[in-house]
Structures are given as structure tokens and as C-alpha cells.
Structure 1
Amino acid sequence: MLYVLHVDESRKMNIALITARGGSKGLPRKNILSLGGKPLIAWTIQAALKSNEVDRVYVSTEDLEIANISRDWGAEVIPRPASLAEDTTSSEAVVEHAIAYFSEKNLAFETIVLLQPTSPLRTCQHIDNAFELYRAKKANLVLGVFEPAHTPLKAYIELDDGSITGLFTPSAPYTRRQDLPRAFQPNGSLYIFGIDCFLKDKQIPRDKVVPFVMSEQESADIDTLDDLLAVERTLRELTHD
């Protein structure tokens, strides 16, 4: 489907898209649980609103309470059908639905920064720096990552016969870390990509992917109560520093 936008082409927007469905098995209602005195999703909304690169901030949700809280904190809301809020719904299906919504509203936009509400330590400065990297590298995708303490390149995979071999190469598990390429773990905090790249294959770009490296602490992803409590402790420590 071709999305035709009918606004002045001289100024295309960067849009922040925050995906926040109501269902969550690991930590029920996690997107609106209190963290540091405000709903979890508010941290991401505020980071996007304070970004110098983001023109408008949208939350895609099927949940009325999340929608109301998101509006209270300054975001616009994309009403998402329940069929796109299942456990098996992909982020890409939600992005495609959002693009269709923007097209219906005649919004001209060039780039999306996809933000998950469970990454509260990702700041407006991270978003701005990631956009700078996106332009400097002429990337198709800038992806938030961290470098884990233990490289995954030394891991093994199981073969059909039950034996194991090195995930990267057969010799990688026996190779010094410093002699292996750097490896990164995606942290889910941000994905920056052009709309044209997305629409070409209806997916987040897989080539010309550039890492935006964050610390492991900044990469905190809240999925359990322990995660929430750990970030609460981190926020207290940062406040007292």
C-alpha cells in the first residue's frame, strides 16, 4: 500500500512512536505502574517530548487507561485495535498500523523513533545523539544496544546430533575475548528508521544497521517486579549523587 502524505514537503517530521498495550503477563499493568512517583510510560513520553529531534509524540495502545494517562503526560494517542494487542502481535504490525493512521491524518513525516515504555533510563539526550548518529552514518536503522560483560560470541549452539559447536565459529569459545569482534545485545530502548525503508519490506530494516551504544545500567528493561525495584534503586542513587 502506498501512503501519500499531503503536507508541505519542505518540512517532514520525526515522530516518536511509543507502543504500549494493556496486557502483560510478567508484570501486570507494567506500563502504568508507578516508578519514581510517576507512571512508567511517563518517563518515555517525557524523554521524547524533551528531545530536540522529535516533533510529535504518539502512544499506540488499545487500553483506555493507558491512553488517558498518556494524554495527561503530553502524548497524542493512536487507538489500536485489540487484534493488534495480542501476545503474538509483532512491533512491525503496530508500526504499519501507525503509519496508516498518520497517512489518514495527512501527516508528513520522514523518520520514526520507536520507543518502548519499559526503558525508563533512556533519556532525551540518548534520542538526540542517536538521531545524530543516524544522519552521520546514513543508516537505515539505528538500534539501541549495550555491550554485555560476557560476549555471546563465546557461546555454543546445539547441532541436530546433540553435539555443540561455537555459535560464531567452532574456535570462538576458545579464543580470547579481545581477539573476537565486539558483540552487542539489543536493549529495546530505541529504533530509528526512515518510513520509506520500512514500507519497502513492511519491516524494520535489516541492513545498514548502526549500533547506538548505551551502558548496561541505561539499558534497563522492566519486565518483572525485580526489574522495577532495581530501577527504583538506581533512580534513588542518581538523585543522591
Structure 2
Amino acid sequence: MNIIGIIPARGSSKGIPGKNIKTLCHRPLIAFTIESALESNYLTKVFLNSEDEHILQEGENYTIENYKRPFQLAQDDTTSIAVIKEQLENLIKEDQNIDAICLLQPTTPFRRKNLIDDAITKFKAGNYDSLISVREIPHEYNPYWSFSDRDGTLELTVERKQIVSRRQDLPKTYHRDGAIYITKTEVILEKSSFFGNKTGFIDTTEDPYVNLDTMEDWIKAEELIKKLK
């Protein structure tokens, strides 16, 4: 099965200026994700996707392929699916046979060893249309215990006749952590989505985690690296 890795990294960022090549404990941020991708035995190719020459120059330090995206796909409102679909369509025009893509966002830099290959193995074994990495939602934030404002009145967010009273009876719920999205080519091209009809998951709850969006997140990442040493 031909699965390629794509690392999207645009040049501009409001929350953390220049974050994709900003130095995080002596390494540019994208290095964490590039190195994780290159450790994979199952990704046939790894692409760095950017409109920014400085980011692409950083990619030249590794045995990956650069893909320069159009500037119109590097705006604040540009979606990840639009970026990936545009590259995928162009690769297919070059007669490249691609079964699925593995999206690896540099803003989630901490991936345990073999996580990518474990995810790909599960993706293949389950014959999924897509697979994502997730983390378990703590019970106090479980959606079965959450309420929504309905015209000034609280109602259960998850539609039920009554609230789940005991913590032990709460179903496990998860949130996507952004580390891995694996999706079959036809799902991306036909549905413009990373989610097919049958979506599997790999649980990363016990793994180190940060999603870099603000400078507070960056400080948290620096502190986390120090703890991991």
C-alpha cells in the first residue's frame, strides 16, 4: 500500500510568529515532525508542503521532498484539506499511484517512537477509510456531563433523557490531538475530507502532548522537553 507523508507548514503565523522554523530547544519546530516521519518504515515518501522559501530550505537538510504550494493556499482561512487535496491532485497528474496520505502537522511535535507505523498498521488491518490519533477526554469534561445554553436554559449537550449519574458509567470519549491523520486518496478527492465512512483511531493519551497555537503553548513545550530529557 502506497502511503505518503505530507507535512504542511506555511510561513505566516499570528499566534507564534514564524513558528514552523522557530527554534524549540535548539531545533526548528518542523525538525521534530520531519524526523518522526523519516523514522517510519511504511511511508513511501515524505513531503514538506509550504509556500515559504525559508521553510523549504530547512527541508533540504533532510531526505524528504519539497512541494511548493500556491500562495493562495497559504492564507489565514486556508483549510488543511484544501492544501492536501491540491498537492494530491498534482501528484496524481504526474502518474503517481497513491493509496492514502498521512498528514503530519508540525504544531503537534511530540510523537512517540513507532507511532506513525503503529497507526499505519492499524489503518491497514482495520481496512479503514481514515484513521486519526486521539486522546481520552477527562471525565470532568466528558460531553455526557456537559450542558449547552438553549435560550437561557441548560440542556444536556448529548441528547439523553437523563444525565449519567456515576463517573464509572460514562462512555469513553476522545478528542483528536492533531498528530496523525491517515486518509484514503478517494476520500480526499471525492469528499474533500480527512474522514471517511469508517474512521479508526489510535490512542495517544499516555504520550507527551502539546498543540502549539500560542506563546503559552510554546513555553509549555519547552518545559515538557526539559522533563523528557
TM-score (norm 1): 0.88
Alignment match of 1:180 (pick from 155, 170, 180): 170
Contact 2:112 2:207 in 1 (8 A): no
Alignment match of 1:192 (pick from 182, 187, 200): 182
Looking at structure 2, the residues matched to 36 and 172 of structure 1 have their Cα atoms a distance apart, in angstroms, of 49
Indicate yes or no: 2:17 matched with 1:32.
Answer: no
> Which residue is equivalent to 1:152?
143
Q: Which amino acid aligns with 2:2?
A: M
| Aligned residues between the structures | 227
Indicate yes or no: 2:152 matched with 1:165.
Answer: no
User: Offset at 1:211?
Assistant: 1.8
Indicate yes or no: 2:91 matched with 1:98.
Answer: no
> Which residue is equivalent to 1:47?
36
Gaps of 5+ in 2: none
Alignment match of 1:229 (pick from 207, 219, 228): 219
Identity %: 31
Gaps of 5+ in 1: 1-11
Contact 2:7 2:47 in 1 (8 A): yes
TM-score (norm 2): 0.92
Alignment match of 1:219 (pick from 209, 214, 219): 209
Looking at structure 2, the residues matched to 209 and 236 of structure 1 have their Cα atoms a distance apart, in angstroms, of 35
User: Offset at 1:206?
Assistant: 4.0
**Which contiguous aligned blocks of 4+ residues in structure 1 show a shift greater than 6 angstroms?**
none
Tell me: CA distance 1:172–1:135, structure 2 relative to 1, closer, same or farther (3 Å). Answer: farther
Contact 1:51 1:124 in 2 (8 A): no
Q: Per-residue CA shift, 1:28-58, capped at 9, x if unaligned?
A: 1111111131100011011001111111110
Q: How does 1:99-138 map to 2 (within 5 A)?
A: 99-138=88-127
Tell me: CA distance 1:172–1:144, structure 2 relative to 1, closer, same or farther (3 Å). Answer: farther
User: Offset at 1:124?
Assistant: 4.6
**CA RMSD between the two structures:** 1.7
3-state DSSP of counterpart to 1:58: strand
User: Offset at 1:82?
Assistant: 1.2
Contact 2:108 2:179 in 1 (8 A): yes
Looking at structure 1, the residues matched to 196 and 162 of structure 2 have their Cα atoms a distance apart, in angstroms, of 25
Looking at structure 2, the residues matched to 220 and 206 of structure 1 have their Cα atoms a distance apart, in angstroms, of 26
Tell me: CA distance 1:227–1:200, structure 2 relative to 1, closer, same or farther (3 Å). Answer: same
Tell me: CA distance 1:30–1:24, structure 2 relative to 1, closer, same or farther (3 Å). Answer: same
User: Offset at 1:100?
Assistant: 1.8
> Which residue is equivalent to 1:9?
none
Q: Which amino acid aligns with 2:228?
A: L
Contact 1:145 1:219 in 2 (8 A): no
Looking at structure 2, the residues matched to 173 and 58 of structure 1 have their Cα atoms a distance apart, in angstroms, of 47
Q: Which amino acid aligns with 1:35?
A: L
3-state DSSP of counterpart to 1:72: coil
Contact 2:144 2:164 in 1 (8 A): no
User: Offset at 1:216?
Assistant: 5.9
Q: How does 1:62-77 map to 2 (within 5 A)?
A: 62-77=51-66
